[in-house]
A and B are shown apart, each in its own frame.
Chain A
Amino acid sequence: MRQIWLVNPTKKTKWNLSPDDTTGSVGILYKPKGMGYQSNLTTKQINFYYFLSEITSENTNIYGTLIFTDDDALKRFKKFVGDFSTTLELHYSPDGSVVADDIYTPSWFKEVIITSFDVSEKNANGVYEIPIKFQTLSDVWKRYSVIRSTEIKLESSGQNSYPYFFKYNYGGGSKIAVDINNNSHEVGCVVSIKNISSDILVSPKWIVQYSDGSTEQMAKFLVYLDKGQEIKIDSNDLSQSATFISSTGAEIDINQQQEPSWDYINYIRLKNGKNRVIFLLNSNTVESKDISVSISYTEQTEIAY
């Protein structure tokens, strides 16, 4: 059975809108509408052929009826939302493969604000039937995804293949690479590189190659990373930033230390399809060892399956 639940990200609390056990004091979302996707196309005709000239996706709102089995459920829901202008996450698992209590499997969600909550009297069955409208803040469903290597030992003789990360021959040397299969839209990502070894890591560089044949993107930051120091490069649309994190946790903006050449976009994006990210990590003298790398991104798709 499909699963829907709300998350209040500020309070870190959840409200299950499709509980398995409906006998107690619960609130259930009945007949939700607007879980799909809509877009507007402008086409251009040449002879008998149509060419796509403009595509605009439409922000579809989600409607439904909330059923509260008793007054207590309604009171608890009010407490859960708190300020009704709070942005909530509406999580949705159409096939029920992810449930609200699962904290390990990422699920699809949209950011929403409740813009209509029409409280009325109890009906003949003694329950509240409240039409509700969620104004969506995104046209697409999102899902968090993190790929992390805890420690990369480039020259260790034993096991070299950590989950996802592998050795890749690039430019005549053995580099660390990761393949990310992005089944969603082109998205930004957060790349973190932490130096664990005592060799200083000099100006880390990474390249992303795309399977769709489009031009590769490159990033480079002119920084020196001592042991325990980290850089975090965020290329998401609204939160783009470049941060240096010292071993004590102090954060410094290093935007101005990005490679100035326009051959380097510096904030790489993950496109639809296979993305191969290759890391070129060197100390002053030798290729670096013991580096921790992670890439996290949010999948974005029209239909939450």
Chain B
Amino acid sequence: MQFRVYSRKNLGYVDSGFVSDNNVSIDDDYLIDNNSTISFSKDTTATIGDFIVLIKDKGAFEKGVIVSVDNAEHKILFKKFIEAFNNNIINPYVNSFSDDITSLRTNSLSALVAKLITQGFVNNQDTEMNLPIGGFNIYEQESTSALYSYSDNSINVKEVLLDYFNKNNLVVDFNISFRPVLDSTRRQIISASKLMVEIYIPASTTKIFIKDNILSGTIVYSDSTIPDATTCVVIDDTTKEILKTYYLKSDNTVTDDPSDEDRILPSKATIVSYTSDSVSDTSGSTVSDEEAIQTLAEENLLGQLNNTLVQYQIPNNTKAINLSNLKLGDKVEFITSLGSIYTIYTGRKISGNNDYITLMFGKARKNYTDKIQLALRKIYKKIGGK
């Protein structure tokens, strides 16, 4: 396997080399902040923040952002692409929040995310913070509305992106549009390559099926936790009257029909209060009460659905599942003799020369260190939101 490092500044060549399959450990769990590691046999000129790609035969086998370079042990540690956005920026919507506006509603979540990234990493006054972004490739399978309730002066873009992954399955990755040009001496490549930020929201209707008839594939851990809330009752803040009740559906949408066949059961309620005009559009115009109440319910219900964990082990050369087609955030249905498990794909773990890989599904975690990370993130949200 080859590793190749591209400069954070202009995507120019930094370093490359051979890395044995035994010396690669990948953990690209999107939800948890774990490192992937490669070790090799020479000094490297790579620096923290550079982009790294592992190439098996053709195409990127794994992509990431370098977080640590150890030239004594010849090791590089890297994380998923969203680590590039692990930085605080001035909240672009901070002016929109007033005493009576607690949330902003957007009709296109990916456009909002693109705006956050542009503000922090394209048009930043501190040019050192900017990335060589050439544009956004948006794969929003269906129009996704969402609430933006971070009213602090500063926001950490990575934390916001993880929050939107939790609620709306939004995944951010990168691609590079390569444009190498030789200089007049023909001895140097001038990099005119551009970073393309890919924003992906999988369709709620399409699903990948994994049946338990794949002999070499095994579910090594499965845990379905009851969601914290499957029903959202919205009441008026002053009169305390019920305005509307929404129910979570298995396709990660909400309905106001209590007898909907796709309702997630058992019913577990959360009660939220609503003040008229408390939600504004991201462009400044007001949102109708009906729309605002629905988005408020979505805010509280979406993301509850995949509170499960399925760890699935399979040989990495399997033909039974097309691993290259499996994208982070994709919906997956495990069909077992005891019934179906509905979940989403959240990452994979590959270690050393082990011929097995572990695929992670769902947004619950088993290890205590992972659980602590998730719990800490929720505290951050309370501080950031209102």
CB of B139 closer than 8 Å to a CB of A = no
B255 within 8 A of A: no
Q: Tell whether, in the assembled complex, residue A215 and residue B186 are in contact, meaning their CB atoms are under 8 Å apart.
A: no
Instruction: Name B191's closest neighbour in chain A (CB-CB).
Output: A260
A217 B57 Cβ-Cβ under 8 A:
yes
Chain A residues within an 8 Å CB radius of B186: 223-224
Q: Which of B18, B189, B218 contacts A256 (CB 8 A)?
A: B189
Q: Is A60 engaged at the interface, CB distance under 8 Å to the other chain?
A: no
With a cutoff of 8 Å between Cβ atoms, the chain A residues found around residue B11 in the complex are 260
CB within 8 Å for A261 and B355 given contacts A222-B189, A256-B188: no
CA distance in complex: A96, B136 (Å): 65
Contact A267 B18 (CB under 8 A): yes
- Please state if A237 and B193 are interface contacts (CB–CB under 8 Å): no
Residues of B within 8 A of A54 (CB): 352-355
Chain B's interface size range is 35 or more
Residues on the B chain within 8 Å of A156, using CB: none
Chain A residues within 8 Å of B56, by CB: 215, 265
Partner of B58, one of A47, A222, A252, A263: A263
Residues of B within 8 A of A240 (CB): 17-18
Q: Is the CB of A265 within 8 A of B57?
A: yes
Contact size range, A:
35 or more
Q: Mark A227-258, 1 if CB is under 8 A from B, else 0.
A: 00000000101101000000000001001111
The distance from the CB of B306 to the nearest CB of chain A, in whole angstroms, is 27
When the two chains form their complex, are residues B193 and A260 in contact, meaning their CB atoms are under 8 A apart? Answer: yes
- Does B6 belong to the interface (CB within 8 Å)? yes
B189 touching A215, Cβ below 8 Å: no
Residues A260 and B189 in contact, CB atoms below 8 Å apart? yes
- Given A259-B180, A262-B55, A267-B2, verify A238-B41 contact (CB < 8 Å): yes
Task: Name the interface residues of A259-274: CB closer than 8 Å to any CB of B.
Answer: 259-267
Mark contacts of B37-66 with chain A using CB atoms, 8 A cut-off: 1 yes-contact digit, 0 otherwise. 000010000000000010111111000000
Asked whether A265 and B2 contact (CB < 8 A) given A188-B18, A218-B58, A258-B16, the answer is yes
Q: Which of A47, A53, A261 has the most CB of B within 10 A?
A: A261
**0/1 interface trace, chain B 258-272, chain A, CB 8 Å (1 if under):** 000000000000000
CB distance from A229 to the nearest CB of B (A): 11
| Interface pair A217/B178, CB less than 8 Å apart | no
Question: Does A302 interact with chain B (Cβ within 8 Å)?
Answer: no
Kindly identify, within residues 173 to 189 of chain B, every residue whose CB is under 8 Å from any CB belonging to chain A.
176, 178, 180, 182, 186-189
User: CA of A222 to CA of B58 in the docked complex: distance in angstroms?
Assistant: 18
Q: Is the CB of A44 within 8 A of B356?
A: yes
Known contacts: A49-B215, A238-B41, A260-B189. The answer to whether A266 contacts B2 by CB under 8 A is yes
Interface-central residue, A49, A240, A259, by most chain B CB under 10 Å: A240
Chain B: minimal CB distance from A217 (Å): 5
Q: Which residues of A contact B18 (CB under 8 A)?
A: 188, 235, 237-238, 240, 267
**With contacts A46-B216, A46-B218, A263-B58 known, is A252 near B13, CB below 8 A?**
no
Contact of A257 among B55, B187, B355 (CB under 8 A): B187
B336 within 8 Å of A (CB atoms): no
Decide if B315 is an interface residue (CB 8 Å cutoff).
Answer: yes
Query: Scoring A residues 42 to 80 as 1 if CB is less than 8 Å from chain B, else 0, what string do you get?
Result: 001011010111111000000000000000000000000
Q: What are the 10 tightest A-B residue pairs by CB atom distance, in nearest-first order?
A: A215-B57, A256-B13, A261-B178, A262-B60, A224-B186, A240-B18, A265-B55, A215-B58, A262-B53, A237-B18
Residues of B at the A interface (CB closer than 8 Å) are 2, 4, 6, 11-13, 16-18, 20, 41, 53, 55-60, 176, 178, 180, 182, 186-189, 191, 193, 215-216, 218, 315, 352-356
